[in-house]
């Protein structure tokens, strides 16, 4: 009996001091960015709730690759988690590309009613078909154009080369507006703007600010052409090894992190608009109607989204 107790005690000590299972999570944004801080918070919750069994390590600023590359790595379980925009995810799971359609949402309230309702849940679950599990959506605000010369109406974009995400809808939108969409890794945009490889790009205010793109593209036209959510993905191969209790912990922690990210986003969006203007950026509030009218032809090019778009528009 004494020998048994010694062995049991030794086993418990080994379990207590066992190294945690490390979950590698990727983000193209830097430390301090809302999505990065939200995943860190999720990690702290999981670490506490699993008594240190799991530890999330967040790799920032594209250290593990661009968003397309990290989606591929997560599918293969080379890394376990990634936070990406749904725009590049469309290359792997087309239905979610409906969220990239221009001027799709009436306002922010409509946006969240769709994402947090049956449609959003349906598309979140749909990524399981490609070896991923969708944990939650994160806010990414509205995307607008910033350029090396002023843009206040659709005609001003004519002939410009605009960096866009790796997404067919965005390329089609640029064509509809008379510009050329240039898909490019996020980390390459500053230099491309600086050297004139592209004439502009499009993104939300925090991204415009944290990347300091306002230094090389000082004209920001708030046309809000898309409101594309971010999505937090985990490898299905990793997920399937979790116990039901662990899955519940991960999902609960992800949902909590999404609420935290929303709060951080609002604070950073206000700060970003203020800071870029201090840094010399000029902000324009254009006539959105003109941009909406010019973008209508994009809808004809993606008939596969027709039913989903109708359902989204019917959400009140």
Domains in the chain, ordered, with CATH? 14-95+107-139+229-270 (3.40.190.170), 143-227+273-310 (3.40.190.170)
**Per residue in 182-219, is it b (16+ CB within 10 Å) or e — as a string?**
bebbbeebbebbeeeebbbbbbbbbbbbbbebbebbbb
**pLDDT at 207 (0 to 100):** 93
**pLDDT at 293 (0 to 100):** 95
**pLDDT at 167 (0 to 100):** 87
Among 162, 165, 152, 144, CA closest to 199? 162
Q: What is the pLDDT of residues 256-312, one digit of tens each?
A: 999 999 999 999 999 999 999 999 999 999 999 999 999 999 999 999 999 999 999
Q: What is the pLDDT of residues 142-159, one digit of tens each?
A: 999 999 999 999 999 999
* Bridge partners (DSSP) listed for residue 235: 132
**pLDDT at 74 (0 to 100):** 99
**pLDDT at 17 (0 to 100):** 61
* 31 CB-near residues (< 8 Å, 6+ apart): 37, 60
Mean pLDDT across the stretch 130-149? 98
Kindly tell me the burial class for residue 284, based on how many C-beta atoms sit within 10 Å of its own C-beta (0-12, 13-18, 19 or more).
middle
Look up residue 22 and give its two tokens: 């490390």
User: What are the percentages of helix, strand and coil residues in the chain, rounded to 5?
Assistant: 55, 20, 30
Report the share of the chain in percent with pLDDT over 90: 92
**pLDDT at 283 (0 to 100):** 98
Averaged confidence pLDDT in the chain:
94
Q: Under DSSP, is residue 4 helix (H, G, I), strand (E, B) or coil? A: helix
Among 8, 71, 104, 103, CA closest to 315? 104
**pLDDT at 6 (0 to 100):** 39
**pLDDT at 10 (0 to 100):** 43
pLDDT at 14 over 80: no
**pLDDT at 166 (0 to 100):** 86
Residue 197's alpha-carbon distances to 141, 174, 191, 224, in angstroms, are 26, 16, 8, 24
pLDDT at 8 over 80: no
CA distance 149 to 156: 9
Look up residue 186 and give its two tokens: 């996020």
**pLDDT at 1 (0 to 100):** 43
């Amino acid at each position: 009996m004494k020998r048994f107790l010694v062995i049991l005690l030794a086993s418990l000590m080994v379990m207590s001091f066992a190294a945690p299972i490390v979950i590698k999570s990727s983000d193209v944004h830097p430390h301090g960015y809302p999505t990065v801080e939200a995943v860190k918070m999720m990690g702290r919750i999981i670490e506490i709730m699993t008594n240190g069994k799991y530890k999330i390590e967040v790799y920032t600023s594209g250290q593990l690759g661009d968003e397309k590359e990290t989606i591929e790595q997560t599918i293969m379980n080379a890394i376990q988690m990634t936070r990406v925009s749904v725009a590049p995810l469309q290359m792997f799971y087309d239905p979610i590309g409906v969220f990239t359609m221009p001027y799709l949402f009436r306002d922010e309230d409509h946006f969240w009613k769709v994402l947090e309702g049956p449609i959003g849940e349906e598309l979140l679950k749909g990524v399981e078909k490609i070896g991923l599990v969708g944990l939650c959506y994160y806010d990414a605000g509205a995307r607008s154009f910033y350029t090396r010369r002023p843009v206040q109406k659709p005609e001003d974009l004519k002939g410009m080369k605009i960096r866009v995400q790796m997404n067919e809808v965005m390329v089609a939108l640029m064509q509809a507006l008379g510009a050329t969409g240039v898909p490019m890794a996020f980390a390459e945009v500053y230099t491309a703007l600086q050297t004139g490889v592209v004439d502009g790009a499009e993104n939300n205010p925090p991204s415009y600010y944290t990347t300091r793109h306002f230094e090389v593209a000082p004209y920001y036209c708030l046309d809000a052409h898309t409101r594309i959510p971010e999505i937090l993905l985990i490898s299905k191969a990793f997920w399937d090894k979790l116990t039901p209790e662990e899955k519940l912990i991960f999902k609960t922690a992800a949902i909590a992190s999404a609420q935290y990210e929303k709060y951080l986003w609002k604070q950073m969006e206000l700060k970003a608009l203020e800071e870029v203007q201090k840094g010399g950026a000029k902000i324009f509030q254009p006539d959105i109607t003109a941009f909406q009218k010019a973008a209508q032809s994009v809808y004809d090019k993606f008939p596969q989204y027709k039913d989903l778009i109708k359902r989204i528009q019917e959400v009140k």
